[in-house]
A = this chain, B = another copy of it.
Amino acid sequence: MSSISGLGEDEVSSFFESSPPLKNKEGILEKLNGFIEHNSSGGRRIVCVTSGGTTVPLEQRCVRYIDNFSSGNRGAASTENFVKAGYAVVFLYRSGTCQPYCRSLPDDPFLDCFQFPDKTNIQVHASHVEAVKMAVMDQQAAVAESRLLKLPFTTIYEYLQMLRLIATALKDVGPCSMFYLAAAVSDFYVPWNTMTEHKIESGSGPLDIRLAQVPKMLSILRTTWAPKAFCISFKLETDSKILIEKATKALGKYKVHAVVANELSTRKEEVVVVSSSGNVVVRRDSDKPESIVEDNLIRLIVDRHSTYIKESHT
């Protein structure tokens, strides 16, 4: 890696060097390269959508961990909209979070959706037919047509190693590739080599934990891993007063093409897209009950990506 001053490359290197190695790296890489080759040879744009929160283990043989709240709804809904807009999507998601095309299923689908009236033929309850069809038919079609590749992660170590793998694999796709980084990535972690091996014992008073900052990988993604990709990052805050200021700061610091600013309590109604051309409030169409904010958000992002591709060619 070439020297990048001010990006904390020492921290990045030492983070990766001390990470437990990614399991089945060869298998992931094979799937990924096949997917990218298939789609880029057909001239299709490819977006990597990250979704859900990363965990930070507090023990090497992990019983306890710190987690970031994220249902994965934003990433799942955005993935559907990117596929609809003609993209191929690498969906890098936290195991167990919301899946594309599955947002309308009830919490407990096997208890609520189905019946076996004659013990041989399964039926879907009328109220859930559309939700199940979408989860099965639309999802399977997207995967079968190589428009959707799903890759799960759990820990911050898995997430960042997989992100690096994907970014490096997408490097040659250049401006037609996009990173849409909706995952809630931990800011703090316990470095693997300073971590206790066994379960932390209780019973001896309060517990003090010192967490180190996770090095900011966004800078490395932009400058080294995939510098020509269009790049959207996310900022979530619970305090609306500081949200836009922090999103604007992130835009300048990481040189991404836009930052989607979310406030926790209103994030399903509206977001603000912060970019060098100004701030745009994107709302869901409140007169249509089934409308979601991602319908309008992805339309805007795809437009911006089209402009970016055009400008890259001139």
Contact = CB atoms under 8 A, between A and B. Distances in A.
Interface of A: 55, 58-59, 61-69, 95-96, 99, 101-102, 105, 107-111, 114-116, 119, 122-124, 132-133, 135-137, 139-140, 143, 150, 184, 186-188, 197-199, 202-203, 205-213, 236-239, 264-265
A248 to B, nearest CB: 14
Nearest to A199: B238
Contact of A59 (B198, B211, B238): B238
Contact of A132 (B122, B150, B199): B122
A110 B123 contact: no
Contacts of A101: 110
How many copies of this chain are found per oligomer? 2
A206 B199 contact: no
Contacts of A213: 202-203, 205-207
A150 B65 CA distance: 26
Going nearest first, the 10 A-B pairs with the smallest beta carbon separation are A187-B202, A61-B238, A110-B135, A207-B211, A114-B136, A198-B239, A209-B209, A67-B67, A198-B238, A188-B207
Contacts of A206: 188, 210-213
A114 B102 CA distance: 14
